[in-house]
Amino acid sequence: MYKYTVYVYAICKNEMQFAQRWYNSVKEADGIIVLDTGSTDGTDTFLAACPKTQVYKEEISPWRFDTARNRSLEKVPEDADICVCIDLDEVLHKGWRAAAEAAWEQGVQQLSYRYTWNFNDDGSEGTVFMIEKIHSRHGWKWTHPVHEVLQWVGEGEPKKARAAGIQVDHLADNTKPRTQYLPLLEMSVRESPEDDRNMHYLGREYMYYRRWDDCINILKQHLQLPTAVWADERCASMRYIARSYKEKGDNDEALRWLLRACAEAPHLREPWLDLARHCADRKEHMACAAAAERCLQITQRPDTYISEAAAWGSLPWDLYSVALWHTGQTEKALEAVRKAEALAPTDKRIRANRILMQKQI
C-alpha cells in the first residue's frame, strides 16, 4: 500500500497525560522512536509497550532541545525515507501518512504543512502557520538550544514541497511553566549573536517577563542586524517595542514605533490593530476608526507564526464599531458591531453594544 518507509521520532519527559492520544495519532508510521529524558510518571513504560515503538532513555545535561532532538534522530534507522518529528502534546490528523507520501516526490527532502499552535476559548483555531518538521533521514541537524530549527547540512539546496493534506494540532498543557526558555534563549543569543531569529525571540521573551527595558534594547539590536530583513518579523519587533514603551508610560514613543510597524509591514493586520487599540485607549476615535478600517481591508491571512488570532477575530470589528459610534457614524457602527458579534456570539459586552446602538438609531 505504501511506497516509503516512515518513522516518527520524539523527545519526552513526564507526559503521560498525552501519551495515548499522541500514540493514536502517529501509529500509521512504520516505526516510532522516543527519547525519554527522565520521566518519572510512567510515560516511558507506557510507550515502550505500544506496537512499533522503541523507547530510549537518556538525560541531557546541560539541557538543550537541539541536543535532545539530534539524539532522538540518531536512533531512526539509516534506511528510513521519511522522518516525522512531533512532540507528545501535538496530534497528527488521521490520513497524514498518505498525504506525506503523496507529496514526497522523487528527490523531496522536506515537507511544509499546516500547524495550529493554539485554540481560542470557544474551540476555534487561534494562531495557525506552516511548519517543516517532516524531512529526509540524512542531511539534517537540529540547531539552537531552544526554538530549535532543522538546518540543512547536506550538499546543494534541499528540495521542499508542501503537503496540503497534513494537519498538526498543538494541544499543550498551559499550566506547564516555561521558565527554562529565557536562560536557553540568552544562551542561544550568546552562541549566535548574529542570528536575527534568536534575537527576536529573546526580545519577545523579555516582553513576556515584563522586562520592558531589556525587551526594547534587544529588539532594537534585532532591527540593526544585517540579516534581519523579513518585514513581518521586523514589524513584530517594532510592535513589541511599542508595547514596552506603553507599559513604561511613554505613549508618544509607543505611537512612533506603532507607526513604524505599520509602515514596515502594511500588508499585515497586526500593526494596524495595535495602532487602533492604542488610539482607542487614548480616546482618539477618528484615528482608531481609520486604523481599524485599514486593518479590516486586509483579507488574506498569512500562514506564518507572525499571524495572531486576535487580528482575525472579533476585535478589529469591535474597535471599529465603537470608534464609528463615537464619531457619529451610527449606521456603519451598527453594521460593524453585528460583524463583531457574529465572530464572538457569547461576548456579552459586544452584544450589549449592539442592542444599545439598535435602540439609538
Length of the chain in residues, anyone?
Answer: 361
Domains belonging to the chain, first-starting first, are 6-170 (3.90.550.10)
Give the mean pLDDT of 38-64.
97
* CA-wise closest residue to 8 among 104, 80, 67, 65: 80
pLDDT tens digits, 333-351: 999 999 999 999 999 999 9
- Paired with 53 in beta bridges are 32
Report the DSSP pairing between strands 6-12 and 31-36.
Answer: parallel
- pLDDT at residue 308 is higher than 70: yes
Q: Give the list of residues 6+ apart from residue 66 with CB closer than 8 angstroms, or none.
A: 141, 142, 143, 144, 145, 148
DSSP code of 64?
-
- pLDDT at residue 67 is higher than 80: yes
pLDDT tens digits, 86-140: 999 999 999 999 999 999 988 899 999 999 999 988 889 999 999 999 999 999 9
Q: pLDDT tier at 76 (50, 70, 90 boundaries)?
A: very high
pLDDT at 121 (0 to 100): 86
Q: Burial-class residue 129 by CB neighbours within 10 Å (0-12, 13-18, 19+).
A: middle
275 phi, psi to nearest 5 deg: -65, -40
pTM attached to this predicted model = 0.91
